[in-house]
A and B are shown apart, each in its own frame.
Chain A
Amino acid sequence: MRNINVILTVPVLTLSLACNAPTAATVLDSGGKETQLQLRSMQSRVFDTTDREKTLRTIIATLQDLSFVIDKADLELGTISATKLSGYNLRITVSVRPRGTTQLSVRANASFNDEPILDPKPYQDFFVSLEKAMFLTAQQVD
């Protein structure tokens, strides 16, 4: 029995050390190699519309289609937060801001099991889903 405990404790400790990050890095999410600009770019798209309410409602409908339950919504702030539970915990906040006089900028940032998602692919997938619902093209931010 003692042998089993020793055998199991070593990989568990190694795992927890490998996955833990120092406090400063977790509070500021400053440990990644992505710059703030790269992160914003992969998380943002621009749509040719100025209808904030309709855009927020479409974001909510898209998140529901993706099996999220909405946590919070704020029209004035232009933000929606939602959680997807499917054997994992996926949290997302999507914010909508005016860009110039003819466009809206939509930014999504998400975390998976309490880890920030820094891979561009899930964000691409989200915006592909959103542009289908918006009937508008999601344009990459310059």
Chain B
Amino acid sequence: MKLKYISPVLVLFLVACGGIPKDALQFNIDTLADRQLQTRKFDIKDEKALILAGAGVLQDMGYAIDESETKLGVVVGSKNRDATSGGQVAGAIVLALLGGGSTPIDKTQLIRASLITRTSDSGSILLRVTFQRTVWNTQNEITKIEAIKDPVIYKEFFEKLSKSAFLEAQEI
């Protein structure tokens, strides 16, 4: 029972005045793997056509385009989605049945995507997409702020883009 009260205080203590992690602005062992996961090479000379296709796929996936600067190969989109997880709901019900009162569960999330193109040394176009999300619970508190690194999501995005652009997405 006491833990329920103490853990949010500990989190607050750590977050409130904590400093920037030492490696936040350094390349690390995951840098190259992340780049490979999030990037594909397309044998196309028209960068603008690829970024248009990419923006179209973001729209297909329900994203609103927030920002674009095609001269720099940049398109940014976002969407709000439900974040309710069956597991959390079940857990909250079990806790309530055990007399633990109402437990906050994840409710909504803001997902952001940035899609960037650039020309590779060989002349083909590289497209890198990155996703991140912020999750709020039923008490309107932020419970997660994280980069999305699930390989399945990236694989599916590039499959959709390949179909949309009639081009083969090659791994780098």
Task: From B49-57, B70-78, B85-93, B155-163, give the one contacting chain A.
Answer: B70-78
**Cα–Cα, bound, A112→B16 (Å):** 11
Q: How many residues of B contact A (CB 8 A)?
A: 43
Residues of chain B touching chain A, judged by Cβ–Cβ distance below 8 Å, are 2, 5-6, 9, 12-13, 15-21, 23-27, 31, 34-35, 38, 67, 69, 71-74, 76, 112-114, 116, 118, 128, 130-134, 145-147
**Cα–Cα, bound, A95→B25 (Å):** 17
- Against B, the Cβ 8 Å flags (1 = close, 0 = not) of A99-142 are 00000000000101100010100110110110010000000000
Between-chain CB contacts (< 8 Å), 27 pairs: A4-B2, A8-B5, A15-B12, A15-B17, A16-B16, A57-B72, A60-B73, A60-B116, A65-B31, A65-B34, A66-B25, A66-B31, A68-B130, A69-B114, A70-B114, A71-B76, A74-B69, A84-B24, A84-B147, A86-B21, A86-B24, A86-B147, A87-B146, A88-B24, A112-B20, A125-B25, A129-B26
Inter-subunit contact B72/A19 (CB<8 Å): no
Inter-subunit contact A73/B27 (CB<8 Å): no
For the residues of B in contact with A, the DSSP-based class is mixed
Inter-subunit contact A85/B116 (CB<8 Å): no
| Chain A interface residue number, banded | 35 or more
Inter-subunit contact A19/B76 (CB<8 Å): no
Inter-subunit contact B118/A8 (CB<8 Å): no
Residues of chain A touching chain B, judged by Cβ–Cβ distance below 8 Å, are 4, 8, 11-12, 15-16, 18-19, 53, 56-57, 60-61, 64-75, 82-90, 110, 112-113, 117, 119, 122-123, 125-126, 128-129, 132
Name which residue of chain B comes closest to A62, CB basis: B27
Inter-subunit contact B38/A64 (CB<8 Å): yes
**Cα–Cα, bound, A87→B14 (Å):** 11
Q: Please pick, from B9, B113, B128, B130, the residue contacting A8 in the complex, using a CB distance under 8 A.
A: B9
